[in-house]
A and B are shown apart, each in its own frame.
Chain A
Amino acid sequence: MSDHSNRSLDQIKVGDELPEFPYDVSATTVVLGALATRDCRPMHHDVDFAVNHNGVRNIFLNTPNLAHWFERYITDWTGPKGRPGRMNFKMRGSVFADDHMVFRGVVDDVSQDEHGCGWVTIKVEVNVEGNTMTACDARFAVPTGEVENPWSLRGDAWQP
């Protein structure tokens, strides 16, 4: 299982698009995500509370779990050497149980820092019925000739 493919900086250019990732969100998706992030707030498991207290139409994904969805989407593309440096989310709407969500991403910047680490900035969004529910600017480290494994960087050599 250690034989895995990784995307290196020289294989990436501005404008590259990540493959679309569609996913049908079920009540189980939402509840499992809340459980996995230890989030007991009722709008993530109780439809009656979500509808009658929050005034929305169903239970919806919580933010920490959505962050993990974004991480998973990006590292599916970078390979396991892709190391998250920074993720900035703008929340515009909720992803509800029974939604069909679609992740899309495009490379916005590529660079190499003074320590030789490769960096890629990706604009990612999760979309439901043509509307962006959350947008994320993500900065991930990827391998270069000088830094073959970004996870090996420690201390001041890691510049997220």
Chain B
Amino acid sequence: MSELPQVVQSWIGKKRHEEVGEFDVERGFVLTACSSVENGNPIYWDEETANDLTDGFIAPPTMISVWCRPHIWAPWRHEEGLSLKTHFDLKEALETPEAIMSSDELIFYEPVRMGERVRQYQVLESVSDPKTTGLGTGRFWNIEVYYENLRGEKLCIEKIAGFGYRRDAK
């Protein structure tokens, strides 16, 4: 496990899994999300406020990943739809069946507007040498996810730190 597999080395710094969300950003889902956390911010609920402050309805910035998460089933796909595929690629390539996210940073740019599609791609930034923690032995990794609309405007950069590990290697 000490050598980082060549295939993983080849992923570092490269744009991977560029995909456009499978559906338009829509207000019904925004309201479901706001309801789930009892978010009464009037920019999401009241058209007059939305027009005044945000030039029309927008989505809560923290919903960004929602717009790129594939449906679990779709007629054109023969396997389960996964988001953050680089994370799952790493689990498989490094033979670490378990993984946790240790930190997540979101940097927000242009607001996400109703009717838009969101495009995302992922870049594997780094993978550590093998480490042993209380969870097991594995590697830490850093993945950046870039989100933009179809006009090419930057919406968000997400920086995710994870640890993939084997429990039985403890």
Task: Chain A residues near B34: list those with CB within 8 A.
Answer: 72
Q: How distant is the Cα of A39 from the Cα of B84 in the complex, in angstroms?
A: 12
Query: What class of interface size applies to chain B in its complex with A?
Result: 35 or more
Which B62-78 residues sit within 8 Å CB-CB of chain A?
62-63, 65-66, 69, 72
B63 and A37 form a contact (CB under 8 A)? yes
A68 and B36 form a contact (CB under 8 A)? yes
Query: What class of interface size applies to chain A in its complex with B?
Result: 35 or more
A91 and B102 form a contact (CB under 8 A)? yes
A33 and B101 form a contact (CB under 8 A)? no
User: Is the CB of B42 closer than 8 A to any CB of chain A?
Assistant: yes
- Closest chain-A Cβ to B70's Cβ sits at a distance in Å of 9
Q: How distant is the Cα of A118 from the Cα of B73 in the complex, in angstroms?
A: 44
Q: How distant is the Cα of A38 from the Cα of B28 in the complex, in angstroms?
A: 13
Q: How distant is the Cα of A75 from the Cα of B54 in the complex, in angstroms?
A: 14
User: Is the CB of B168 closer than 8 A to any CB of chain A?
Assistant: no
User: Is the CB of B38 closer than 8 A to any CB of chain A?
Assistant: yes
Q: How distant is the Cα of A35 from the Cα of B46 in the complex, in angstroms?
A: 23
A37 and B102 form a contact (CB under 8 A)? no
A1 and B103 form a contact (CB under 8 A)? no
Task: Chain A residues near B62: list those with CB within 8 A.
Answer: 64, 67-68, 70-71, 84, 87
Known: A68-B39, A71-B39, A151-B54. A37 touches B65 (CB 8 A): yes
User: Is the CB of A145 closer than 8 A to any CB of chain B?
Assistant: no
**Chain B residues close to A by CB (< 8 Å):** 29, 32-43, 45-46, 48-49, 52-55, 60-63, 65-66, 69, 72, 100-111
